[in-house]
């Protein structure tokens, strides 16, 4: 038996006797707050135009929370919907992993807050910080508890209230981000069922200063000065992040496809992190996939960080483009840097 490393080099399964134990996604729920922030709204707040935002990012509108709503509230709504889809309640959940860079508080973790809201009294859990790759990293982490045989039901949530850390006087960042959440349930795949097939993740900490929130942590605790200098907001070197994302999202996908003996032709749907339509299009083109194979919904949500991939997955299902048996290629790149690609055979 090998953990994390099967004879074919794939990293998302466990070989038990003659059987490969895989993990599958058995349910999906999403939530976005009702309030919209449109490009027309932003035109009144900063020096920008609807045309510039659409052309440079592909975004038309984003969902934004009302004051006082936290990430755990969005996570709760998404998690409830995922559990309801499987006819389950919080009591059935064994592990909760919340990917977020905007926790309600530093501590307790958003996973603890969510556990209480869901009444998931039998679950343990934790938060995972990997920015825009957070959902994919949490998905693979959650899958390990299934393939190891340790747990049967893992709830993985990607949720962010990006509006809580955005400077709405900075036109280079405020046009990009939105709020949203998605939750999946991970369970054991049936014998012979693929589920989560493989993943290929990398981090590169040398790019840490390209996208970060400078203050509020242990190195630069909150003070009047940090607030005055706007150091509690997202600071981004946009063009640098753009170049990294275009290069690395392709590379991790290419490596993942090749080691599984696949090409872009074999993929039914490519669901990338939604950060910029030009990053998505460049990655798709380099992978040799036609436009109809990529899911783009950045126009309606902007970049919701850990929320983009489940929100895009839900749209793929609604549009009839993701069905039981579809082969999905996921990809992400974000602050850290973090980057990832995952292959999933859709299970419902
Ligand atoms: O999830 C991962 C996190 N983030 C990303 O993946 C973001 C990656 N980066 C990007 O998406 C893009 O770099 C941005 C959308 C952030 C910026 O687009 P860009 O095409 O790279 O623009 P730029 O930063 O090179 O700026 C070009 C011009 C500048 O004016 P000058 O210096 O040429 O006169 C900016 O000041 O566009 C100006 N500009 C704007 N103009 C109108 C920047 N933001 C705006 C704006 N409206 N909102």
Q: Say if residue 337 is preceded by a cis peptide, omega within 30 of 0.
A: yes
Instruction: Kindly report, residue by residue over 51-62, the tens digit of the pLDDT.
Output: 999 999 999 999
> Using 50, 70 and 90 to split pLDDT, how confident is the model at 21?
confident
Distance 287 CA to ligand 1 centre (A): 25
Based on the structure, what is the number of domains in the chain?
2
Residue 141: name the closest of 69, 90, 201, 212 by CA: 201
Same domain, 88 and 232: no
Mean pLDDT of 65-70: 98
Task: Indicate the pairing of strand 196-203 with strand 235-236.
Answer: unpaired
Give the closest residue (by CA) to ligand 1 atom 5: 275
Residue count of the chain? 348
Same domain, 238 and 167: no
Q: Count of alpha carbons within 13 Å of 38, Cβ hemisphere only?
A: 4
Answer yes or no: 303 catalytic. Answer: yes
The pLDDT, as a whole number, for residue 15 is 63
Same domain, 22 and 109: yes
Residue to probe by mutation, ligand 1, list 135, 162, 172, most atoms within 8 Å of CB? 172
The pLDDT, as a whole number, for residue 5 is 43
Share of the chain above pLDDT 70, in %: 95
> Which atom of ligand 1 approaches the CA of 239 most closely?
13
Distance 179 CA to ligand 1 centre (A): 20
Residue 140: name the closest of 153, 156, 151, 158 by CA: 156
Alpha helices in the chain, H assignment, sequence order: 39-45, 50-57, 71-85, 110-118, 134-147, 224-228, 238-259, 277-286, 298-301, 308-318
The pLDDT, as a whole number, for residue 43 is 98
- Going by C-beta distance under 8 Å and a sequence separation of 6 or more, which residues neighbour residue 256? 198, 199, 200, 329, 341, 342, 343
Distance 176 CA to ligand 1 centre (A): 10
Distance 194 CA to ligand 1 centre (A): 40
Distance 334 CA to ligand 1 centre (A): 16
Instruction: Kindly report, residue by residue over 275-298, the tens digit of the pLDDT.
Output: 999 999 999 999 999 999 999 999
Asked if residue 46 has pLDDT above 90, the reply is yes
Same domain, 167 and 252: no
What is the biggest distance separating any 2 CA atoms in the chain, rounded to whole angstroms? 63
- Catalytic entry in 39, 63, 132, 174: 132
Give the closest residue (by CA) to ligand 1 atom 48: 171
In a domain, 9, yes or no: no
Residue to probe by mutation, ligand 1, list 239, 249, 282, 301, most atoms within 8 Å of CB? 239
Answer yes or no: 132 catalytic. Answer: yes
The pLDDT, as a whole number, for residue 20 is 72
Mean pLDDT of 145-167: 97
Answer yes or no: 297 catalytic. Answer: no
Same domain, 153 and 268: no
**CATH code, domain with 116:** 3.40.47.10
CA 75 – CA 18 distance, rounded (Å):
38
Asked if residue 1 has pLDDT above 70, the reply is no
- Lining residues, ligand 1, CB within 6 Å: 48, 52, 56-57, 132, 171-172, 175, 211, 238-239, 241-242, 245, 275-276, 279, 303, 334
Asked if residue 7 has pLDDT above 70, the reply is no
Range of the domain at 48: 14-188
Same domain, 100 and 231: no
Last residue of a domain, one of 170, 188, 206: 188
- Catalytic entry in 39, 200, 253, 273: 273
Residue to probe by mutation, ligand 1, list 62, 160, 233, 242, most atoms within 8 Å of CB? 242
Report which of residues 44 and 1 the model is more confident about.
44
Asked if residue 202 has pLDDT above 50, the reply is yes
Instruction: Kindly report, residue by residue over 237-281, the tens digit of the pLDDT.
Output: 999 999 999 999 999 999 999 999 999 999 999 999 999 999 999
Last residue of a domain, one of 123, 158, 188: 188
């Amino acid at each position: 038996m090998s953990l994390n490393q099967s004879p074919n080099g794939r990293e998302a399964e466990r070989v038990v006797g003659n059987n490969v134990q895989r993990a599958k996604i058995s349910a999906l729920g999403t939530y976005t707050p009702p309030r919209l922030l449109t490009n027309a709204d932003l035109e009144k707040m900063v020096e920008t135009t609807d045309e510039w935002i659409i052309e440079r990012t592909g975004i038309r509108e984003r969902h934004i929370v009302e004051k006082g709503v936290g990430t755990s509230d969005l996570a709760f709504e998404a998690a409830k919907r995922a559990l309801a889809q499987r006819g389950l309640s919080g009591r059935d959940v064994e592990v909760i992993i919340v990917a977020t860079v905007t926790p309600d508080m530093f501590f307790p973790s958003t996973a603890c807050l969510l556990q209480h809201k869901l009444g998931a009294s039998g679950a343990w859990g934790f938060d995972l910080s990997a920015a825009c790759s957070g959902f994919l990293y949490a998905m693979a982490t959650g899958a390990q508890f299934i393939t190891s045989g340790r747990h049967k039901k893992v709830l993985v949530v990607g949720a962010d209230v990006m509006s809580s850390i955005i400077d709405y006087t900075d036109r280079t960042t405020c046009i990009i981000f939105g709020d949203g959440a998605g939750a999946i349930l991970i369970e054991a795949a049936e014998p012979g069922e693929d589920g989560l097939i493989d993943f290929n993740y990398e981090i590169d900490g040398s790019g840490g200063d390209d996208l970060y929130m400078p203050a509020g942590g242990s190195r630069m605790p909150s003070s009047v000065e940090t607030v005055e200098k706007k150091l509690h907001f997202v600071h981004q070197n946009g063009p640098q992040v753009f170049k990294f994302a275009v290069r690395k999202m392709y590379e991790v996908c290419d490596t993942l496809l090749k080691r599984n003996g696949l090409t872009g032709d074999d993929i039914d749907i490519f669901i990338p992190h939604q950060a910029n339509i030009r990053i998505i299009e460049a990655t798709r083109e380099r992978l040799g996939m036609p436009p109809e194979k990529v899911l783009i919904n950045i126009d309606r949500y902007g970049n919701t960080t850990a929320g983009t991939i489940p929100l895009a997955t839900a749209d793929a299902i609604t549009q009839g483009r993701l069905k039981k048996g579809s082969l999905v290629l996921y990809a992400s790149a974000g602050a850290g840097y973090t980057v990832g690609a995952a292959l999933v055979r859709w299970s419902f």
